[in-house]
Structure formats: C-alpha cells, structure tokens
A and B are shown apart, each in its own frame.
Chain A
C-alpha cells in the first residue's frame, strides 16, 4: 500500500499559512514539525507485506481518558513495542504566567487553584509563601499550623485520585469508587474550612481567610480516623495482588542517575532511591517541628511509585494528627496584624474607617514588594516540587512570575520512560508519574 501522508509538504520558511492549510486542518505546521521530530517523514502508517512487521504512528490523546486530561502522546510503534515517543502538551495552556503580570498578588491566587486542581490547597500555600518571601511578611504561628495540616490533606486528596484512576486504568474499578468516596469527604472538609469545595482559595497573603471552626476540626479528626482504617484495607487488597503487581512491577524502571538527569521530582524521584523532599530539603511552615518519614523505594518502577505514594498518605495522616493536637492548645491570630501586609479583619473593615481604607488599599494595590526584589519559594506539592519565581517592580503586581510545576518536570521524563515499553503499559506509565495537565500547561 502507498504510504499516506499526514499533511501536505509545508515550507517552513513560508511566513503565513496558505488558505488551503486552514480549510482542512488546524495548525498543520505544528503536526508537521511533531512528526518530523519523530523522524517519520510525515508518514502516519507504513504497511509492508506483513502487517505485524510494520511501523506505525499512534496518536494517543489529547481526548483519551487514560491520559488524565489533555495529554497527547505520539507513539512510533513497532508492533506492540514503542520505539519512540513524543508528548505534545499545551492543550490546556492558559498563559497564567502572563495573567499574573496584570493582577495584584492576592487577586492572582484563585488562578493557582486551577493549576494542579487535584490538590488546590497546596498551590495556594505555595503562592502565598512565595509572595511572603518576596515581601518579607511574617505569618502567625496558628496560620502556619493550619496551612501545614491542610497541605497534607491536599496531598491525600491528590493521591486518592491518583490511586483510584491508576488502578482503574489497570483494570480494577472498585478502588476508584472507594477513593472517590474519601475524596468527597475531603471536599466536605474544605467546604467547611474554606467555604468552597473545589477551588478553595482559603489562604491570604500574611495568613488565612478564616480560622478553623469546631465543626471543621471535628470533620478533619473524623476523616483521619476513618481514613487510616480504610487505607489498611486498600493495602490488603493491592499490596500483594498478583494482577496489580504483574501490571506494574518492572514497568518504566528508572535508575537514580536517570531520574536526576531527566529532572524527575516528587514521589517519582523518591521511588528511585533519592530521598529528595522539599519538606526536608528546605523546611517551610512547620515541617521542621512535626515528625514524619520520607517514604523511599529503590526499585524505580511503577510499583515502587505506587508504594511511595501510599506510604506518603500514611505519613500525611500522621502529620495531620500532630497538627490537630498542636492546634488544640495554640490559639492566636490567623493573619498578620499589619494592615500594609495583609487584609484587616472584617470587624475592623465594617466598624472602623482605617480598616475600611486599608481593605480598599489591599484590594486596589495590595502588597508592593521593593523594586528589583526577586525570590523563589518551593514547596513539596503532592506531585513534587512546586515553586513560584517572582520578580517585583515595586508595584502591586509582579513584573514577572514563572511557575516551576512538578507535572511539567515529570512529563518530560515520561517521554523517556515510554521508549521501549509496550502499548498496553502506556496507561500505567502515565498514571504512575501522575501528571495533571492544568499544572504542566500553565
């Protein structure tokens, strides 16, 4: 059979696309460049006499459910084996780095909810910490403990979705239903604590929007109690499950050197024997005052990444318990009492003129770090190192903001992991590095 060409030959020097290109395909140059990078001469399928011997290009995504959003993987196959893989991302690119330049620091925070939307609380915390570092704002103790606790809850929230979908992709549906039940309970906690279920935006620069209510504390306590028992059951089902182990053991194996070289981060890096965790590397909030272990494996395959994340959930629950115990006795303000650095309390806003003026100024301009200030603050988000790099020009909005997102770093290495794997393993591989496209595409 004659090879079918994917797109008409395109002259890359040609300045603007011809009308023909636009009639039939969107962005023809983009695909042409992608196939060229895959070194396949714009050919989609080459069928020789024996179809089993032929090589083909498979476009997996961006609309495939197992790609966890809009990830497009272009695979060059030799039968069932993946010869090479290119990932095409950007289908969820919203340019939020550019948005930050026209928003005040506080105004930008809801956008961070929408990057890694599976554990939005830790994105809020990462953003606030970066701004607080840039402007030198102190945060009260109680707010720091609450932030620590809710960050860990966000980690469980994110890992629950990862566990459910990964195991579902490998063929077991029931775990998905159980983990989503507990995700739903975390949503209820967030609803009580922050007033929103999904996009929480509960942090404020210099502290928090509101203190924990008694109902909120009780809900968190009940959640960790139930969750620990439940996690034991799931481990009983999966840890020695022959089918699950067969699907994940030895799949996508990485050595420690490869993982470092490819820039992997988070649980994926720790599954290769490198105990790199920002909570220990450069402690923020109260992580130097709570006891926890950093789970680590040395095998570096999909199964090791599963174990690391499951053990991380146990550790998160342990940290939440310590925070709850601490918060029982620790009372005090939840936002810094400096009207130039944080919103005044609603009492002040409604009943004093100064409060109202400061509230207006915080909304209009907000914090204005010194001109030329530059700071980077990273946290250990559920998926790895999440950092915001901020540069100030002395105004109320950043001159430039860049996001160092864990999903972006992990997806880069996924291209390498895919090479040499089988087609059936792609869904397990994608699931095991746990990308979120909102995070990777920015």
Chain B
C-alpha cells in the first residue's frame, strides 16, 4: 500500500516537483512543465502554521511503519497514515499534542486501480497556531475507514458528507445517513465516473402541472432523450 510515498521530509518536496515528471497528453490541454509563477522562489502564500516537523517526528516515532509517508507542497505537510491507526493518531494528536479542533475533512477520488479513495483530515492546534493534514487511502473494493466521531464530534457531518459524495463508509459512525442528497438516491456523485449532467431518472422532481406526473429527468434534451428542434 502506498509504496510510492516518500519517507522523510527531504524526499517529500522532491516527488511533487513538476519538472521531474514528464507529463503525457492525456487530456485536451496545453502541457506545461513549470509553474506559472517563479518556481525557484518559495510559495508567496505559504503559512508558518503548516510547518510542524516536531509533531511529525512524534507521529513517526509513535506509529513507525504505519505512518506511510510525508508529502510537502506550498509549505503544507501531509502525513499519510494506515487507515487502521487513523483514530489512534487523532486521539494521540488531541491528547498529547493539543490538536483538539477538527477544522476540515473531505475526500478525493484518485481514480487509480489501487488505493482509489483518499480521506483527509485537517486538525488544528489553536494554542500553538498549527494546522496538520492527515490522509488515509482506501481501495475501491473495501472503501471503509474507521470513524473519528468518538474523538472529534465535529467529524459527524463531515463523514456523512464523504459517504454521500464519495461513497466511503465510516465504520462505527452513529448515524451514517446521506448529508445532502436524499436516501432514495443510489449514486455517489463526487466519484469520477459519475457524469456531470447527472443520471436520468435518478432523482425525480415534482411535476410541472398540478395533476402531472413526476419528472424523471429534468434535463431530457441534454441527455439526448428529446430531439433537438
């Protein structure tokens, strides 16, 4: 799992350097192998709050092999962890390092064969003015991450949102309903294979006339169900 991740901070900055990686023309875009701004300069928007090597060392010491890697870009450090220890890591960071505030959480679809989904957590230490990002990766076949609602209650809605949008389930979540979409919906729209225009018939809408029937597809023309006139 995640063998391509660097193990220490020195390697961390290198993997991201765009000059190192030759881009192939997979999409219809103008390939570019340097940053738009000046690459030699440090990022003008980098913050002191995202640099915390001591905490990352403590995590490394505590979790050893289960800390899978460290990536750095724009002065932000991201710690990759094995999903089995994510709850332990949050508990450790909250109890011993003062990261008691969960400010953000979300998910990424990498659209790869292995480790397809990523769930990230942004933890904040208000006293020391620090912000740390943790990440776990899960496979498409088994998209389950242990919940952290027992440690940060603020994760309750965020985990529901990730389940709704990306279809990653959280084991042990007290009330894992969908966040935005109705339970009757069967898809997870933030996944890459979900079409931007939606799936016809998946979300019926109220009728246009008083005694009309439900509209199964609000965009029939865009979906090719109505001929263009």
Q: Are A282 and B48 in contact (CB under 8 A)?
A: yes
B106 within 8 Å of A (CB atoms): yes
Q: Closest Cβ of chain A: how far from B63's Cβ, in Å?
A: 22
B214 / chain A contacts, CB cutoff of 8 Å: 22, 26
Cβ contacts A9-41/B at 8 Å (1 or 0 each) = 000000011000010001111101110010000
Q: Closest Cβ of chain B: how far from A145's Cβ, in Å?
A: 15
Q: Known: A133-B74, A374-B78. Is A99-B106 also a contact (CB below 8 A)?
A: no
B45 / chain A contacts, CB cutoff of 8 Å: 129, 132-133, 136, 284, 375, 377
Q: Are A34 and B103 in contact (CB under 8 A)?
A: no
Q: Closest Cβ of chain B: how far from A331's Cβ, in Å?
A: 21
A33 to B71, alpha carbons, bound, how many Å?
Answer: 40
Instruction: Tell me the residues in window 68-82 of chain B with beta carbons closer than 8 Å to chain A beta carbons.
Output: 71, 73-74, 76, 78
Q: Are B102 and A263 in contact (CB under 8 A)?
A: yes
- Interface-lining segment among B35-43, B53-61, B139-147, B218-226: B35-43
- Interface-lining segment among A161-169, A216-224, A393-401: A393-401
Q: Known: A263-B102, A389-B106, A396-B29. Is A408-B183 also a contact (CB below 8 A)?
A: no
B108 / chain A contacts, CB cutoff of 8 Å: 391, 399-400
- Interface-lining segment among A237-245, A362-370, A424-432: A362-370
User: Which of A260, A276, A365, A376 is B29 in contact with, Cβ under 8 Å?
Assistant: A365
Cβ contacts B146-173/A at 8 Å (1 or 0 each) = 0000001111110001000100000000
User: Which of B23, B73, B103 is A375 in contact with, Cβ under 8 Å?
Assistant: B73
User: Which of B23, B47, B179, B205 is A394 in contact with, Cβ under 8 Å?
Assistant: B23
A413 to B154, alpha carbons, bound, how many Å?
Answer: 8
B109 within 8 Å of A (CB atoms): yes
Q: Closest Cβ of chain A: how far from B92's Cβ, in Å?
A: 17
Q: Closest Cβ of chain A: how far from B162's Cβ, in Å?
A: 10
A377 to B102, alpha carbons, bound, how many Å?
Answer: 15
A402 / chain B contacts, CB cutoff of 8 Å: 104, 106-107
- Interface-lining segment among A89-97, A290-298, A305-313: A89-97
A135 to B126, alpha carbons, bound, how many Å?
Answer: 27
Q: Closest Cβ of chain A: how far from B31's Cβ, in Å?
A: 7
Q: Are A265 and B73 in contact (CB under 8 A)?
A: no
Q: Whose C-beta in chain A lies nearest to the C-beta of B206? A: A26
Q: Are A90 and B76 in contact (CB under 8 A)?
A: no
B180 / chain A contacts, CB cutoff of 8 Å: 89-90, 93, 441-442
B205 / chain A contacts, CB cutoff of 8 Å: 26
B131 within 8 Å of A (CB atoms): yes
B175 / chain A contacts, CB cutoff of 8 Å: 37
A51 within 8 Å of B (CB atoms): no
Q: Are B39 and A371 in contact (CB under 8 A)?
A: no
Cβ contacts B4-28/A at 8 Å (1 or 0 each) = 0000000000011110010100010
Q: Closest Cβ of chain A: how far from B148's Cβ, in Å?
A: 12
Q: Are B165 and A341 in contact (CB under 8 A)?
A: no
Q: Are A412 and B131 in contact (CB under 8 A)?
A: no
Q: Closest Cβ of chain B: how far from A4's Cβ, in Å?
A: 21
B200 within 8 Å of A (CB atoms): no
A134 to B102, alpha carbons, bound, how many Å?
Answer: 22
B27 / chain A contacts, CB cutoff of 8 Å: 393, 395
- 4 more A-B contacts (CB under 8 A) besides A30-B182, A136-B36? A34-B177, A136-B45, A375-B76, A442-B180
**Could you give 18 example pairs across A and B, Cβ below 8 Å?**
A26-B206, A33-B183, A90-B178, A101-B196, A102-B196, A136-B35, A137-B44, A261-B100, A263-B154, A282-B50, A282-B131, A338-B37, A369-B35, A374-B74, A404-B103, A408-B161, A412-B156, A412-B157
B-side interface residues toward A, CB under 8 Å?
Answer: 15-18, 21, 23, 27, 29-32, 34-39, 41, 43-50, 71, 73-74, 76, 78, 100-104, 106-109, 120, 122, 124, 126, 129, 131, 133, 152-157, 161, 165, 175, 177-184, 186, 189-190, 194, 196, 204-206, 214
User: Can you list the 5 inter-chain pairs with the closest CB atoms, starting with the nearest?
Assistant: A263-B154, A370-B18, A90-B180, A30-B182, A133-B45
